[in-house]
Amino acid sequence: MHVTRWASLGLWLMIAMLFVACSTMPPLEQQKRLVQSGDFRLQQLTPPAFVDSWGEPTYTHQQFTHFFGMPDGRLIPQTRLALGESPQGWETGLAAGDAFFMAYADRGMYLVFLEGVLVYHEAMTAEKVHAAGKTWKFESQFKTRLESSPGLK
């Protein structure tokens, strides 16, 4: 009986931790309202909020990316800087992971997600969005079958 009580307590603790972890992310409906109002909150928006609000992006891309962590919580992808540069105000924060990029030419918006949440957004001209999309298309030609296999992501 003592073991059953500990197992029950452990289960409740696990459920409570899962609830707390999930509660930090706003529900999808609230995320969509934020997107529609132009309030691009970092670490609080997911790709479905943008797709449901704006439709399919003009371009998408996925690749392992290094990020510069900024004091305000932004993660600036190294791909947005010239080789060897670091962003102004950057001190020591670094991150890396499989990033998902979405670009909307009609809205002039470049979005980057890490672990499924928005970590970077940048307004840019439609021409710059198309240039990024062309670069992604060119790079995708050189991916191996292993890199593009959905089972390995």
- Residue 88: both structure tokens together: 């102004």
Two tokens, residue 47 = 């790709």
Range of the domain at 121: 26-152
The pTM of this model reads: 0.73
Residue 19 in any domain: the answer is no
Instruction: Give, as one character, the DSSP assignment of residue 63.
Output: E
Residue 16 lies in a domain: no
- Phi, psi dihedrals of residue 36, rounded to the nearest 5°: -65, -30
CA 50 – CA 18 distance, rounded (Å): 25
Q: Is residue 136 part of a domain?
A: yes
pLDDT tens-digit series, residues 17-50: 444 344 478 999 999 999 998 888 888 999 999 9
Partners of 26 in the β-ladder: none
Cα 101 from Cα 111, distance rounded (Å)? 6
